[in-house]
């Protein structure tokens, strides 16, 4: 199985909204500190993240702070999760027919 390098951007494709549906990008995992998401990087502080997301309150809703280096916001079903080691963007999928791969 291939392994991504330490600094990367990876995309997960899966059936969306259910495993049986057409493929879509359902997760983006970013460990490259040069990549920006809404002007933020994985090196942004919680204060910077909260400030930027507050500027877009018509779109983003505060989700949770799990610890001092981990904060999440969502827009609809999509979650933007920032930590000191990565940025994760994703949506939950279902598997109503319990497909086993």
pLDDT at 69: 64
Number of separate helices (H) and strands (E) present in the chain: 1, 6
Sequence-distant (6+) residues with CB within 8 A of 63 are 72, 73, 74, 79
Per-residue pLDDT 10s for the chain (101 aa) are 888 999 999 999 999 999 999 999 999 999 999 999 999 999 998 889 888 888 876 777 766 555 556 788 888 899 999 988 999 999 999 999 898 87
Q: Which tokens is 46 given?
A: 């919680």
**pTM score of the predicted model:** 0.86
Quick: pLDDT tens for 21-37. Answer: 999 999 999 999 999 99
What Rg, from alpha-carbon coordinates, does the chain have?
15
């Amino acid at each position: 199985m291939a392994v991504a390098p330490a600094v990367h951007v990876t995309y997960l494709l899966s059936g969306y909204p259910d495993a049986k549906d057409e493929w879509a990008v359902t997760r983006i995992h970013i460990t490259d500190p040069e990549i920006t998401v809404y002007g933020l990087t994985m090196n942004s502080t919680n204060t910077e993240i909260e400030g930027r997301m507050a500027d877009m309150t018509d779109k983003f809703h505060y989700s949770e702070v799990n610890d001092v280096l981990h904060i999440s916001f969502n827009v609809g079903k999509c979650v933007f999760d920032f930590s000191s080691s990565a940025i994760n963007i994703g949506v939950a999928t279902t598997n109503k027919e319990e497909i086993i791969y």
